[in-house]
Amino acid sequence: MTENYDILANHGHVPVMRERMAQLIAPAVEAAGETAVLVDGTLGAGGHTEYFLKTFPQLRVVGVDRDSASLAAARERLAGFGERFVGVNARFDDLGAAIAAGEGPVFETAREHGLAAGFFDLGVSSMQLDQVERGFAYRTDAPLDMRMDPSQPVTAADVLNTYSHGELARILKTYGDERFAGKIASAVLREREKEPFTTSARLVELLYATIPAATRRTGGHPAKRTFQALRVEVNRELEAIEQVIPVVTDALRVGGRAVFMSYQSLEDRIVKAAFKELSTSTTPPGLPMDLPGTAAHFTVITRGSEKASEAEIAENSRAASVRVRALERLDGELSFHGPEPVREGGRR
């Protein structure tokens, strides 16, 4: 591994826990040698991928992002790596199908040998937060959009203006852990009768008026939980995480590793449960050894969820809430596939 790496000044902050992420994938990448292919399922501005490509000279990366603007910027940033980087415009749980259908040496190598690693930095990217017009940030007035993929039809404004009281309360409670979900939902329904919601400032004003003053003084910004819940709902984020774990683990070669960085408890809970299932034998309890075909095909290589050090948080404050989990493939057959088919009603 290369020890020294200077972040380019025009690309902003240091990627979260970049050195630790490289350490986690290093054994898999180095074992794969010239056939090492990593999928960065959450490419964003390309910071982690740039660090990986500089750290591992033999590595090639398929970068996946549902946001065409982010993908275009990352392609420009990573152009100097030539054919070692390939960008794909897709939601990350479609990466298996993208690799199966992809043309060129990187995809051919991935299909023949499997992935050396899969990397996922979940949640909204810093690049998207910095684009005020996207509506992810609650501290600046902007259109209530919040779509990571602008081609998708449903915006945060659509959710606020069309969901029932029960639906709004559910997403605020489930995705935002909002104590006052029902009260906020009632206030939204009252206000939208007067005029539909279009911009973030009006929603923030409503939240200040609805959430009790005592809670506002101690619970952080009153809009944080609601904006998180709306973003997760608009982008079907938890659904995509559930879908991608079997997709990427099936595509790993023996010795390959999958690394997930989560920033909220719901994300981490999904990853933790899936990793536990993948790394647990299905032999009935009490037997002295695994029955044929029941041994676990994966092992978890992080002890619990890893957190960032004080130094890593000083490099990038976003690291304060991160939880990292990683697993390694022990055996099994390669498979490249997409998520489960969409059921009637548009849900997978």
Annotated binding site: 46-48, 65, 92, 121, 128
User: Which one-letter DSSP state was computed for residue 340?
Assistant: P
Q: Tokens in use for 132?
A: 């005020």
Measured at the CA of 176, the angle between CA 246 and CA 277, to 5 degrees, comes to: 25
Annotated binding site for S-adenosyl-L-methionine: 46-48, 65, 92, 121, 128
Span between the terminal Cα atoms of the chain, in Å? 40
d(CA 315, CA 311): 6
Q: Tokens in use for 299?
A: 């092992």
Q: Tokens in use for 288?
A: 């002295």
Task: Name the 3-class secondary structure at 322.
Answer: coil
Alpha helices in 131-223, H assignment, sequence order: 156-162, 165-176, 181-194, 200-210, 213-218
Q: Tokens in use for 41?
A: 């399922």
Residue with tokens 């206030």: 187
d(CA 87, CA 187): 43
Structural contact between residues 102 and 139, judged by C-beta atoms closer than 8 angstroms? no
d(CA 334, CA 57): 25
